[in-house]
Amino acid sequence: MTAAAVTPHFLATAAAIDILSVGGSAVDAAIGADAVLGVVAPETCGIGGDLFALVHVPGQEKPDALNSSGRAGSNVSSQTLREQGHRTMPTMDAASVTVPGCVDGWHALAARHGRLSWSERLAPALRYAESGFPVSTELADSLAARFDRLRSEAVGQHLLPGGRPPTAGESIMRPDLAETLRAVAQGDRDEFYLGPPGAAISHAVGGLITEDDLSQCQAEWVAPLGLSVFGLDGWTIPPNSQGYLTLAAASVYESWRNFDDDEIDRWHLAIESYRSQAADRDLVLADPDYAPLSGEELLSPGRLSPPRHVGRRQDFRRSPRSTGGTAFLCVLADDGEGVSFIQSNFMGLGTSIGAGSAGFLLHNRGAGFSLEPGHPNELAPGKRPLHTLAPSLWTKGGALHTLLGTRGADYQPQLLLQMAIRMFVEGDSPAEAQTYPRWVIDDLVDGSVRVEQNTPPEIAAGLQSRGHEVEIVEGVQRGWGPVSVIRSEDTVEAAADPRVRTAAAETL
């Protein structure tokens, strides 16, 4: 079997292929690629963020599912934030930092599916951190946008060489992060969480996260959430992930679609399928210990059977909230093991709060909490927030079929639904599906739909006639991806998203 890797950055893709070529597992390659992304693309992910993964093991009916999203610190308080005048969670604030789950996730994955040593997995990331790497346009733009916040942080010493945002193509090094990665490579999870990096995290957030919080492992193997749709078995991470929306919307679309629907109807039905399921997300999605519905209940037949309305846009009551900085990557090894892997700082560079001299930024995943008293997703110590990360893995008869995911926060299930329809219903190759025009919804209430500039005019007009407020967005939409996809059916096909210049796919 052909091995393959697709990531948002060519250096990470090359690292994954190099690790596979020396006998590493798909998980070894994914960890190595993720570590590289944390060095060269901190506007997407890093060890200050969270991680979810789905791992297909040949001969195993269901994938292994890992939820390594962190919990809120012991000293956070929704009441305190309300008293400070906040009505919603602050985003660039220590209170929005949950315990980073990434390194715990790495260790859990490696313990179950790894073959190589930590020094072998992290060698490419260490090389770029110590010797330098070219700054991408996306990173340059992100650092410039957050310059005022970053320049007072220790991490800014190397991200902002000479006290200024670097330009695209300029080479920078991250020796402080290299030292932290070396500690991770030489020790167990406690080397990170209970060593100097953990102390730096606690100090950076003013003690809202304690040593005891950091001593608790954030990684948890969970039962994957699955649904049969489009002739395949689709799998994702159960709540607190919003992954259920991809499967739910796909199921509604499948039940609504008729073979005599024209292309305008198919666009309309896809949009309405997503809207019908996303309408109450913020009411029902939370830490499963607090949520009113389980993942299985969110995919129950009653919820997946709304009436079919081809003619007009329907009235749904919820507004998606945010786009985000995330990295999805997928790796297929020649032994058939495949991993759908997503890791994130949430909003670009996260909070832009640095973990002291440890060289990494802290995410703001806690911004996913609610401050509404009594809400199932209300901020509370030890609780996981509503999480936008939504990787997917698709099997057929127990065999791996497709690894599929994207960044994009609230856009993730929207983009994955569209890719699934193009590949699994319309018969597109992964590469063809990547180039097909996309739509996104920012607000479920006002009926607005944004579409890419290459959307055929008759489709835009047809959606408008069905009640959608259509906005054609000019330029390349980097935030509507990058989707990464590997399909392993008769042959292996890997496709990167052309919307993001650094994204790359390679086979071995």
Q: Is the peptide bond before 482 cis (omega within 30 degrees of 0)?
A: yes
Q: Which residues pair with 329 in a beta bridge?
A: 341
Residue type, 484: S
Q: Residue 474 has what pLDDT?
A: 94
CA torsion angle 481 383 53 59 (round to 10): -140
Q: What is the pLDDT along the chain (508 residues), one digit of tens a residue?
A: 799 999 999 999 999 999 999 999 999 999 999 999 999 999 999 999 999 999 999 999 999 999 999 999 999 999 999 999 999 999 999 999 999 999 999 999 999 999 999 999 999 999 999 999 999 999 999 999 999 999 999 999 999 999 999 999 999 999 999 999 999 999 889 999 999 999 999 999 999 999 999 999 999 999 999 999 999 999 999 999 999 999 999 999 999 998 778 999 999 999 999 999 999 999 999 999 999 999 999 999 999 987 766 565 665 555 445 556 799 999 999 999 999 999 999 999 999 999 999 999 999 999 999 999 999 999 999 999 999 999 999 999 999 999 999 999 999 999 999 999 999 999 999 999 999 999 999 987 777 899 999 999 999 999 999 999 999 999 889 889 999 999 998 899 999 999 999 999 999 9
Amino acid identity for residue 334 in this structure: D
CA atoms within 13 A on the CB side of 176: 19
Compute the distance between CA of residue 25 and CA of residue 13 in angstroms, rounded to an integer. Answer: 14
Backbone angles phi, psi at 87, to 5 degrees: -100, -25
Residues 423-455 pLDDT 10s: 999 999 999 999 999 999 998 777 789 999 999
- Cα distance between residue 387 and residue 321, in whole Å: 12
Give the residue among 375, 400, 329 at the shortest CA–CA distance from 33.
Answer: 329
67-95 per-residue burial string, b: 16 or more CB within 10 A, e: under 16: bbbbbbbebbebeebeeeeeeebbbebbb
Contact between 449 and 439 under an 8 Å Cβ cutoff? The reply is yes
Sign of CA dihedral 75, 150, 154, 358: positive
Q: Are 36 and 128 in contact (CB under 8 A)?
A: yes
How many CB atoms lie under 10 A from the CB of residue 200? 20
Per-residue pLDDT at 313: 62
